[in-house]
């Protein structure tokens, strides 16, 4: 497997740790797709937060499915997650997509792991 490397200027490392981490969090998702997902959940559950995680947050990787975490006050039923996927597929064509719903109060290791590297998906 051929690895790709990115040259990083020395001044980058003078930033705070948080700033350095943000430099590497790049989303590989089309603007139209990002807008659709963001607006879909914002209209239905205004207090929700949408996160992109998995290989799509790493610009050095290729391909990969779209992994989404939806955080809300209440867990979203599977049928509602499936409905969003159906509408997405009808607009952008079939793709690999995983959508996970968790509550904001959830303290699971899985949620904490996702949030440790996920990128907030917003469209402004």
Where exactly are the structural domains of the chain? 26-120
Judge whether residue 40 has pLDDT over 60.
yes
Q: Is 105 helix (H, G, I), strand (E, B) or coil?
A: coil
For residue 56, name the pLDDT band (cuts at 50, 70, 90).
Answer: confident
pLDDT score, position 124: 64
Three-state SS across 52-103? EEHHHHCCCCCCCCEEEEEEECCCCCHHHHHHHHHHHHHHHCCCCEEEEEEE
Element (DSSP H or E) covering residue 120: strand 119-120
For residue 51, name the pLDDT band (cuts at 50, 70, 90).
Answer: very high
Superfamily holding 26-120: Beta Polymerase, domain 2 (3.30.460.10)
Cα R_g (the chain), whole angstroms: 16
pTM attached to this predicted model: 0.75
């Amino acid at each position: 497997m051929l690895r790709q490397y990115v040259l990083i200027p020395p001044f980058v490392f003078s930033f705070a740790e948080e700033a350095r981490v943000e430099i590497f969090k790049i989303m590989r998702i089309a603007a139209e797709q990002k807008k659709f997902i963001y607006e879909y959940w914002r209209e239905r559950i205004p207090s929700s937060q949408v996160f992109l995680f998995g290989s799509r947050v790493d610009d050095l990787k290729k391909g990969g499915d779209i992994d989404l975490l939806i955080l809300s006050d209440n867990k979203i039923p599977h049928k509602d997650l499936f409905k969003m996927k159906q509408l997405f597929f009808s607009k952008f064509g079939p793709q690999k997509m995983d959508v996970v719903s968790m509550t904001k109060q959830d303290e699971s290791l899985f949620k904490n792991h996702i949030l440790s590297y996920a990128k907030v998906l917003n469209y402004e």
